[in-house]
Amino acid sequence: MVASLIGGRVVCDELFTDLRLYDYLLAIDRDLALRARRAGCPRCEGRLDSATYPRKPRGGPARALGAQHHRRLSFCCDGCKKRLTPPSARFLGRRVYYGAVVVLACLKPLTGRRVTELKALLGVDRRTLRRWRRWWSEQFVQLSWWRAVGQARFSPALDHGRLPGELLERFAGTLDPPLAALLRFISPITTASA
């Protein structure tokens, strides 16, 4: 059951604002960035210089987090001058809400009461929540990365109508907390340049 999987805690509204979760995801992002930097530029093998840029993420504890949580780790090649943005466990590509928020908000059914709770907590409206759910069940499963790499990892196959919950369940027992493991696993979809 999903409720028992996220750090051994019940999936509740407190998790949206758990500073430790966001610090852990930042540590994952730093690790992914370090690996990308060590590999060098994939185009010309040049040295990568820091070129982080600001983000204005929504949801979660955005105001309570330090400035480092509002920066997308990125690099610029000193040779070909092209940008390389490594995968991220915090940001789902260009989406303005934290990735953890997009996952957590889609775990429970969207009842009227739940929509009201999420609106009060995150400032997200019903249309956005519906769009996120459609993204998981329709667009996510059509991504070339998911079809080539992602879904092949799971046997039996995942029920696309139960994403992201069923995906989260498959990360029970991993070294990372399941939510962090899920976000690390899908991090390749967060960038086009890495």
Q: What is the pTM of this model?
A: 0.89
Residue 8: predicted pLDDT: 43
Q: Kindly tell me the sign of the dihedral angle through the C-alpha atoms of 102, 104, 105, 107.
A: positive
Query: CA 120, 69, 100, 147: dihedral to nearest 10 degrees?
Result: 140
Q: Which residues, in sequence order, are CB contacts of 12 under 8 Å at separation 6+?
A: none
Task: Provide the pairing of β-strand 53-54 with 75-77.
Answer: unpaired
Q: Kindly tell me the sign of the dihedral angle through the C-alpha atoms of 21, 16, 130, 85.
A: negative
**Could you check whether the bond before residue 57 is cis, i.e. omega within 30 degrees of 0?**
no
The rounded distance, in Å, linking the Cα atoms of 96 and 92 is 8
pLDDT (tens digit, 0 to 9) for every residue of the chain, 194 residues total? 344 344 444 455 677 888 999 999 999 999 999 999 999 999 999 999 999 999 999 887 877 888 999 999 999 999 999 999 999 999 998 888 999 999 999 999 999 999 999 999 889 999 999 999 999 999 999 999 999 988 889 989 899 999 999 999 999 888 888 999 999 999 999 998 65
pLDDT tens track for 64-75 = 888 999 999 999
